[in-house]
Structure 1
């Protein structure tokens, strides 16, 4: 075995083999791939091999499109061993609400560039004549989908990698990973010796958490039992090789041809985890015992749709574990705090379809420093310390599996992973009739039902389908209170971290595009950019005093933003970075009456001259010390109050009581989202992403090009010099239509010209609205476009932000 390698890949499944070939293809051949068993002996060997590009995630669809093109290329070059069957796929809708879901997914996929549409039940029967058409409302047919031999494609990657010079060592188990004083990777220890290296890729599949633990890192995933049955062919009813893959989510099953017979698998509603505390190293080329009781609902659904299966002789029920992440997305990228250590695991039953694309972007990450795609939803950086809780991860993973085929509506909430993090105000909010949702482990108020018992929301949208929610008017009342009077929000789940020390200002000036060097008590709304000028973070920085700063970010983005700052911090000890999220509660109070209410609770001067917009200072509120920041996410006058957890309850009660004379109302996150949409405020990961730039998003005011160099400055300057191509605009849908949820395709003059980013209901004008990027000619206010909503094109009009576009109300 080689004693040195530029890159060591741990894991010889399809992911590791794809990465090895993609690195070698770009000239990086000093690569050693280590596999503890034989190649493909982990999860790859028992994979079903389905490949589909019908995805609503832009990144996942692009990864799978690349994979399909690559598999086409390999087959054209004579690699018939990969078993690539480009037979197309059929996704059935066996209920009216599922058809609506398919129509919505079609609109989203079209907005991403996929040529797809819905077909009738008769057309579906023509494509797959063996299905029972009863109850089919419609379907989607994707001709370029198919399935392949997982072992064949993995071994083809390995063969091609070897031909280019990559070394592969099988039956070799990694026992440790060495690091230097700065935490960087130095070597890999195995039962065959030590390999010196500066780059390690953890592609160990369901063993990835154990590998990451060797360097003190978290890679959250849990193996789930996943089963499928194979049958012999039925004499006289042999399935032809060109039989399409059939999926019927309402009946919980998928199907493909296997040697003339059936291969039937699916996703149970009560899934089972396995080896949540870690998979044994010697679990190689093994399966789990058959569990027919678990599989029964899948088999029943398949028999309803394809009665012919009942005549087939079962060969075997295969139970193979596959690792599922807490959100169902891959874990990719450099691991924070461990320079040189990368992860590519947690394929969540999409490993074969995405393997080609994953290999490509991982090679880019390692060689170029960044991938060519926006992979924020797959970046390992998204998982923070709370994901070290194995029970929490297992509950989240089970939920992802549960919803793999079970209808998941946009308003559905987490079922199982609840009550992991609560605000100190939780009990008081519950007494006010709070309905709680879940975000990143936090219980947060969605809205209030005054006078009714509190509850935790679940899969409630199943009760009303795709129409208007029964709590629509409650949210409207909260929104109108914020616009006309004053509203009180619990914002404790905000991510909060402090950056301090002699090097703190220099670090923040380097990572932020706005000027952070402002007086003590200043608030700066800014972004962190990547080298291409794309937006990696969207947050607020407060200069507490001198070289001490506090950063406030979204509930789900704490780990992403915290790790971005840490990854750029100097190694000389001049900067301390500390997560303080749990140290403070936060109360947000906004609306025209906010100054009057807060003024009654404090003796401090709150006038515009004494306490201007985007400043912060210490107050005494209801007798308690509070750090007050005059900033707003809804476009109204108001403050965020940061308090000791033990003081938050008294301040909340005092503000609520004092506000009665001013029409105060407690409000939740659903109102907050509607209000920010009306104001034109963006949400990172949806409206602005690592592929978008500030200038086209209309956020040039957040950039200070004169302050000196910062990450992304050159790319931003070049984009400005080259001229902008698009602008982010608000579109207002006409008429009383079904709700827009975001990502729907945007049409103009009979062509798709964009897709919605965020969308929701603007209660101030009682219309559905959304954001989209449009070319400059179409971005002019008044331009008429159409939004494809559940199979119909709804007229819409381009506008500036519908609420206070000049931003005057929050500065009064």
Structure 2
């Protein structure tokens, strides 16, 4: 065991492409004493049998940025290391067979061009030139990305490993990690085994890149890492005479992809109903193995493939392959520091895009480890989005039967998962279901997204155009603006922070003034040292020593981790997740006060209960807290009530509201209302990469209160001036729809993209938010330009505003 060190600065577990990439990039950052441990041989888990498709376009700007980085890195690795990666930019073509898919591809192409990825719709003639063997019958569109390509996955990993070794990383094969060690707060090392002998390596950082084994390894340290292996099928033909080099071809409507390699064709599938594997754990001796053939499962895909590429009918099958790959509940991989344990980092669950992602993901995680913070917004793949319940194996088995196929399914807006549903329900779930709620899922919560009318079925019929619930949501939106709407907001994250030092603690990590009198509600942000927004929240002072923090339901794990990481060891503060202890009913609209007067003897006048305050009330026969705050831009109260009394309060409000136009409303109406009011949404409009002043939230930042995290960055930005501003847009044409990621054109030039979008039913057109560069410019300069939004290749004129287009003076909110 003399060759294994006693200590290391970082230990990386797993010798696939992901682990090798992180080792390579840490070494490039100057890290010494980095050790990579592979239980068997490098690439022997999943990497060796990956298809090696390198697509640059991903679902968000930063994930696209990482994929582009991977492609560029793999091109230059051969010169650096002498190992050929097989990387060639032969391009890719995606063919649509429906009008809905055509709309999706055209939107993706517009998004790609906004981020420097060449992507264009090509004519049938050009398609025939690029892919002469294709039967294009039924094709409605084809998108060509000439910068995409393919590589040799195993050689990419080997080149990264050699580059890491060349820069001082120690790589060991046949060393299995048995346990990650900790002191209860952070990692301190690993216990591993080589040749049957145990060995301990002390370490400051441990990175779990264990692929299919990553979930169980993480569980041993109390870390939630929800992923599950699925069987993944492809076949490789015998050599085909005269077959020229071809672009990668994807025909998602037939669930298939095609790759030419050395005169052979590889045909792979992402079938709609997948086969989970390894329910009892992944065998420890799995090494360059494959799973039993299941030709019956693959045959429907192959039948369509033979019709699409007739030359396959004459080609012999050289290899029919079935190998496992890891999939996650939302088809996005995991990256970052685990919230449960400091120094424990993760890069796993790549959902069959590990080769295309690992170059960039390794670079990003290396910087995250080195700096202690992500290099840019990575919330889409942040490990802190994982919910503890998602580690349940029965849940994962059911969900991944769907997520593999979703890679090639239509990526419709508002699409909801069909599997593993109904796990987290508010106490009002059955009430809402009985009244026609169509539910969506968020972090496992079942939330009413819209309500079906009499005789209607509360089910989604997806489209890129107006979906079947558009009119329903419009009615709900109008009720909020004109009468009253009632929302179930139980899924809010609720964190109680209390103790002798609670106020001092919160004042240090929040940008607003937290030391207010009990009953006051403070809208604020938690900032990082760059002035980026880590959390967007309200803080309600319940008493001298107790505070309630309301955060987005999707970010509760992230926000708890941020709070706990910044808590001094000797501080008298207790942090408790209270999310499931209370239901929340949001009563919003101009008639809200009238409804409250019917159900409660308390005084709800402006004098007795002004905006931004909370107090305990009687409601029906229950006791609750009424918080006068809003996310829709209307007079209203959020009513917090213990879960056991929630159904009673709902029934009382529903009965009293009948005379005042009360309508049950869903999350789609909430989103359209908040966009009209230009309220920001964390994860879309504001992230840890977005400076709080450039996000237009300077009014919530109180630098005069003294020191807090991010204060210096705020003062510096005020002195330097803004580089960009978040702008609200309203389309001049009332017909098109906005979702997010649509390019923004200023005076004919692409300058950014929409961070969120929805239809503004009161304003009469689609509304979006997006950042526009403004260095050295005044507000008048920004608004003096002409703006257009690119929607699937069509430019649509837009009105721009730096103030909310709806109720800019907050008159309705404070009515």
Structure 1 pair 165/780, CA: closer, same or farther in 2 (3 Å)?
closer
Which residue, 790, 793, 796 being the options, matches 2:795? 793
Paired position in structure 2 for 1:742? 740
| C-alpha RMSD over aligned residues | 1.7
Alpha-carbon distance change, 600 to 57 in structure 1, aligned in 2, over 3 angstroms: same
Secondary structure class of the residue paired with 1:129: coil
The equivalent residue for 1:60 is 63
Q: Identify which of 435, 449, 452 aligns with 2:452.
A: 449
Corresponding residue number in structure 2 for 1:562: 560
Shift of 1:80: 5.0
1:97-108 equivalence runs, <5 A: 97-108=100-111
Q: Residues of 2 paired with 1:239 and 1:224: CA distance? A: 32
Alpha carbons of structure 1 residues 548 and 779: separation in structure 2 relative to 1, 3 Å: farther
Match of 2:240 in 1: 234
For the residues of structure 2 that align with 1:287 and 1:137, how far apart are their CA atoms? 37
Give the Å deviation of 1:782: 6.4
Quote the Cα distance in structure 1 between the aligned partners of 2:453 and 2:9.
Answer: 62
1:179-194 aligned within 5 A: 179-191=182-194, 192=197, 193-194=199-200
Distance 1:425 1:78 in 2: 60
Displacement after TM superposition at 1:276 (Å): 3.5
SS of the residue corresponding to residue 8 of structure 2 reads coil
Contact kept in structure 1, 2:187 and 2:203, CA below 8 Å:
no
Counterpart among 275, 279, 283 of residue 278 in structure 2: 275
Please give the per-residue CA displacement for 1:421-441, whole angstroms capped at 9, x wherever unaligned: 111111211222212122111
Structure 1 residue 781, shift from structure 2 partner: 4.1
Partner of 1:146: 149
Give the alignment of 1:545-556 within 5 angstroms.
545-556=543-554
Match of 1:201 in 2: 207
Please give the alpha-carbon distance, in whole angstroms, between the structure 1 residues aligned to 2:602 and 2:756: 39
**1:602–1:195: structure 2 CA closer, same or farther, 3 Å change rule?**
same
Deviation at 1:780, TM superposition (A): 4.0
Match in the other structure for 2:667 = 669
Instruction: State which of 512, 515, 518 in structure 2 corresponds to 1:517.
Output: 515
- C-alpha contact (below 8 Å) 1:733/1:767 kept by paired residues: yes
In 1: Cα distance, 2:281 partner to 2:515 partner: 47
Cα–Cα, structure 1 residues 78 and 28, in superposed 2: closer, same or farther, change >3 Å? closer
Q: Whole-Å Cα distance in 2 between the matches of residues 441 and 215 of structure 1?
A: 23
- Determine whether 1:36 maps to 2:39: yes
1:475 CA drift (Å): 1.3
In 2, the alpha carbon distance for the partners of 1:514 and 1:397 equals 42
Q: Corresponding residue for 2:701?
A: 703
Measure, in 2, the Cα distance between the counterparts of 1:269 and 1:384.
25
1:210, distance to aligned residue in structure 2 (A): 1.5
The Cα offsets for residues 16-62 of structure 1, whole Å up to 9 and x where unpaired, read as: 11111111112112011111101111111111111110223212111
- Are 2:496 and 2:575, in contact at CA under 8 Å, matched by a contact in 1? yes
Which residue is equivalent to 1:492?
490
| Selected match of 1:617 from 615, 618, 625 | 615
Residue 503 of structure 1 corresponds to which residue in structure 2? 501
Question: The residue matched to 1:444 in structure 2 has which SS?
Answer: strand
Match of 2:339 among 336, 340, 353: 336
Equivalent pair of 1:187/1:198 in contact (CA under 8 Å): no
* Aligned mates of 2:202, 2:661 — CA distance in 1: 68
Measure the CA separation in 2 of the matches of 1:105 and 1:775: 23
Structure-2 residue corresponding to 1:355: 358
The 10-residue stretch of structure 1 (627-636 or 273-282) with the greater mean CA deviation from structure 2: 273-282
**Cross-structure match for 2:812:** 809
Per the alignment, in what secondary structure is the counterpart of residue 696 of structure 1? coil
Deviations 1:652-684 (A, max 9, x none): 111111112211111111111110011110111
The 8 Å contact of residues 50 and 353 in structure 1, kept in 2 or not, is answered as yes
- Kept in 2: contact 1:746–1:785 (CA 8 A): yes
Asked if 1:321 corresponds to 2:327, the answer is: no
Answer yes or no: is the 8 Å Cα contact 2:747–2:785 preserved in 1.
Answer: no
**Is this contact kept in 1: 2:12–2:206, CA < 8 A?**
yes
Answer yes or no: is the 8 Å Cα contact 1:787–1:794 preserved in 2. yes
1:429-485 Cα offsets, whole Å, 9 max, x none, are 122221212211111111112334764x45x21xxx322223222211111111111
Task: Give SS of 2:539's match.
Answer: strand
Match of 1:406 among 381, 406, 409: 409
Q: Which residue of 2 aligns with 1:252?
A: 255
Counterpart contact for 1:230–1:258, Cα < 8 Å: no
- Give 3-state SS (helix, strand or coil) of 1:717's partner: helix
Deviation at 1:511, TM superposition (A): 1.9
Please say if residues 201 and 343 of structure 1, whose CA atoms lie closer than 8 Å, have aligned partners that are also in contact.
yes
Partner of 2:225: 219
- Preserved CA contact (<8 Å) 1:535 1:693: yes
**What aligned pairs does 1:368-407 form with structure 2 within 5 A after superposition?**
368-407=371-410
CA contact (8 A) 2:450 2:666 kept: yes
Q: Which of 763, 768, 771 is 2:769 aligned to? A: 771
When structure 1 is superposed on structure 2, of 773-782 and 633-642 the one drifting more is 773-782
Q: How does 1:753-768 map to 2 (within 5 A)?
A: 753-768=751-766
Note if 1:288 corresponds to 2:288. Answer: no
Matches within 5 A, 1:649-688: 649-688=647-686
C-alpha offsets along residues 636-655 of structure 1, whole Å, 9 cap, x if unaligned?
11111111112111111111
Provide the C-alpha distance between the structure 2 equivalents of 1:8 and 1:621, rounded to a whole number of angstroms.
Answer: 57
Q: How does 1:53-132 map to 2 (within 5 A)?
A: 53-77=56-80, 79-132=82-135
Greater displacement, 32-41 / 702-711: 702-711
Closer/same/farther in 2, CA of residues 10 and 384 from structure 1, 3 Å limit: same
Unaligned stretches of 5+ in structure 1? none
Cα drift, residue 14 of structure 1:
0.8
TM-score, normalised by the number of residues in structure 1: 0.96
By how many angstroms is 1:277 displaced?
4.6
SS at match of 1:443: strand
Query: 1:714-754: per-residue Cα shift (whole Å, max 9, x none)?
Result: 22221221111221111111224231111111123332122
Contact 1:209 1:278 (8 Å CA) reproduced: no
C-alpha contact (below 8 Å) 1:337/1:566 kept by paired residues: no
Aligned residues: 804
Q: What is the CA deviation profile of residues 548-591 of structure 1, one whole-angstrom value per residue up to 9, with x for unaligned ones?
A: 11111222121121221122222336222111111111100011
Equivalents in 1 of 2:109, 2:59: separation in Å?
A: 9
Q: Is the 8 A contact 2:186 2:344 kept in 1?
A: no
Shift of residue 177 of structure 1?
Answer: 1.9
TM-score relative to the length of structure 2:
0.96
Cα distance in 1, alignment partners of residues 496 and 333 from structure 2: 29
SS at match of 2:288: coil
Residues 506-563 of structure 1: per-residue CA shift (max 9 Å, x gap)? 3222221111111111111111222211112111111111221111122212112122
Separation in 2, partners of 1:277, 1:725: 53
Residue 783 of structure 1: how far off its partner (Å)? 4.1
Q: Secondary structure at the match of 2:595?
A: helix
Aligned equivalents of 2:560, 2:399: Cα separation in 1:
23
**Residue 476 (structure 1) aligns with:** 474
User: 2-side partners of 1:224 and 1:362: how far apart?
Assistant: 25
1:579-615 Cα offsets, whole Å, 9 max, x none, are 1111111100011111111122111111111111111
- What are structure 2's unaligned runs of at least 5 residues? none
Task: Report if aligned partners of 1:56, 1:108 keep a CA contact under 8 Å in 2.
Answer: no
